[in-house]
Amino acid sequence: MLAAPLHAGTLRVATWHLGLARDGPGLLLRDIGRDDDPRLAAIAAHLAAISPDILVVQGVDHDHDLLTLTALRDRIARDGPRYPHLFALRPNRGWPTGLDMDGDGRPGGAGDAQGYGAFSGQGGMAILSRYPLDSAAARDWSAVLWRDLPGALLPRSEGRAFPSEAAQAVQRLSTTGHWAVPVILPEGRLTILAFHATPPVFDGPEDRNGRRNADEIRLWQLILDGAFGPAPEPPFVLAGVANLDPARGDGRRDAIHALLADTRLQDPLPGQPTATWPGTGPLRVSVLLPSADLTVTGAGLHPSEADLTGPHRMLWVDLARE
């Protein structure tokens, strides 16, 4: 059964890597409660200016009862939009494995978790929405093992699995997660496809992170092909951090080229840099890609350049509901 088409007005969807992760569990919740971080006020002000109906965020620490996300939502609502509906799952970041996963010979470090993280839940992602989210119908591919991906680019060193066969036997592909979450609109459903891939750097000649980044991006095309259960039905929007610029910086760019060229998706912000660091200059690392059946009436980035909120800019897109 196909999802109902969108109707009646405009829907604004946004994604933003907030970069709010802290060094220990509970610290972000504490800082939100103290309300003395000027970045939080700046984030709320920018969200007030753009006022997305659906917001996908990255870089927000996760806890079991969503206390931190709820506190962030309430802080945003003081100066910006109100989001009565929240969704977040435990990310792979910081999920302990008990093994040496990064090949440094010492288990138990941040690089030895399923996804890089100093504690379970560090730097997770979430969806905030003005409209209800069908959590019961959400799908989660975060537990897919990297080695189970068709054509997986598993790293090797000196002719052997890197860092070990035991590590590759438990290594999940998703650094943070890959989700499909339906939003219940008055006239139908829109599915949000959310992810946050690893940067393709901070590794060695085995290119572990570069290979994983490419496969995390490629997973979406396999999901849309129906290789991991029924393919998500349009309309949908793929939103998140690919961490791979199509033209600049490090990484295996074939993966992002293929995703951006996929005819099931449209790219309303082609070539637009979404983050700027002093060492790299502007890079396009975040994506917001509506399904091809949707009518895009507007799109942009905010703020106009990196500011107090950090290196990442918010991407937004307006979709006709006709």
Q: Is residue 4 part of a domain?
A: no
Q: Is residue 3 part of a domain?
A: no
- The strand order across the sheet containing 54-60 reads 85-87, 124-129, 54-60, 10-17, 314-320, 296-302
pLDDT of residue 306: 75
Provide the 10 A C-beta neighbour count for residue 322: 12
Residue 223 domain-assigned? yes
In a domain, 2, yes or no: no
Phi, psi of 165 (to 5 degrees): -60, -40
Q: Which element (helix H / strand E) includes 167?
A: helix 165-170
Backbone phi, then psi, for 104, in 5-degree steps?
A: -90, 0
Q: Domains in the chain: how many in total? A: 1
The candidate with the shortest Cα–Cα distance to 149, out of 198, 90, 242, 215, is: 215
Q: What angle do CA 62, 241, 238 make, to 5 degrees?
A: 100
Length of the chain: 322
What are the tens digits of pLDDT across the range 197-231? 999 999 999 999 999 999 999 999 999 999 999 99
Q: Is 91 within the bounds of a domain? A: yes
Residue 203: CB atoms within 10 Å: 21
Query: What's the 3-state SS for 29-87?
Result: HHHHHHCCCHHHHHHHHHHHHHCCCEEEEEEECCCCCCHHHHHHHHHHHHHCCCCCEEE
Q: Which CATH number does the domain housing residue 153 bear? A: 3.60.10.10
Q: What is the pLDDT of residue 40?
A: 94
Q: How many DSSP H helices and E strands does the chain contain?
A: 6, 15
Three-class SS state of 211: helix
Host H or E run for residue 12: strand 10-17
Q: Are 180 and 224 in contact (CB under 8 A)?
A: no
Asked whether 101 and 75 are in contact (CB, 8 A), the reply is: no
Whether residue 38 is contained in a domain is answered as yes
As a whole number of angstroms, the distance between CA 8 and CA 99 comes to: 52
User: Does some domain include residue 247?
Assistant: yes
Following DSSP, what letter does each residue of 221-260 receive, concatenated?
A: HHHHHTBTBSPPPSSEEEEEE----SSSSSS-THHHHHHH
Of 179, 221, 172, which is closest to residue 198 (Cα–Cα)?
A: 172
DSSP 283-312: E--EEEEEBTTSPEEEEEEESSS-BTTBSB
Residue 293, judged by CB atoms within 10 A of its CB (0-12, 13-18, 19+), counts as: middle
Nearest C-alpha neighbor of 27 from the set 13, 18, 37: 37
**Host H or E run for residue 128:** strand 124-129
Domain containing residue 21:
10-320
Identify whether the C-beta of residue 146 lies closer than 8 Å to the C-beta of residue 115.
no
Each residue of 101-117: pLDDT tens digit?
999 999 999 999 999 99
Which segments of the chain have a pLDDT < 50? 1-5, 7
Tokens 């290196």 belong to 311
Has residue 239 been placed in a domain? yes
Distances in Å between the Cα of 163 and the Cα atoms of 97, 102, 159 are 13, 6, 11
> What's this model's pTM, rounded to 2 decimal places?
0.96
Helix (H, G, I), strand (E, B) or coil at 88: coil
What local confidence, expressed as pLDDT, does residue 9 receive?
83
